Amino acid sequence: MSDKSNRTASFTRPPETRGKNIPYNQKFSVLIQLCNNAKADGVENVMVICPWVIGDSYAEVIESLSRIANEGLTLFVVERDMTMSGLTGASLN
């Protein structure tokens, strides 16, 4: 989903894909499409609600970060207090 007025696109993936042995190109197809279309869509920023969205393993995180960086996009991760742990009242401090 993108908003051309502020040039930010949000990215998420289904929670049921978390920790599953699914090929990267399939598991992150929405992120790949977002990165491929970013310039044409006028997107400059990618926002995710929590870090696991961009990868379950070191290799997946690095691949996602590389794709985001290769397109010149800025990544924003929503504040800790705004993630699910913050919404459920759990404290990680």
The pLDDT value recorded for residue 74 is 95
* Residues near 12 by beta carbon (within 8 Å), at least 6 away in sequence: 30, 48, 49, 53
More confident of the two residues 42 and 90:
42
- When pLDDT is cut at 50, 70 and 90, the band that residue 81 belongs to is low
More confident of the two residues 26 and 90:
26
Q: What is the tens place of the pLDDT at every residue in 9-33?
A: 998 888 888 889 999 999 999 999 9
Helix spans in the chain (H): 24-27, 29-41, 58-70, 84-87
Give the fold, CATH level 3, of 2-87.
Transcription Regulator spoIIAA (3.30.750)
Percent of the chain scored above 70 by pLDDT? 77
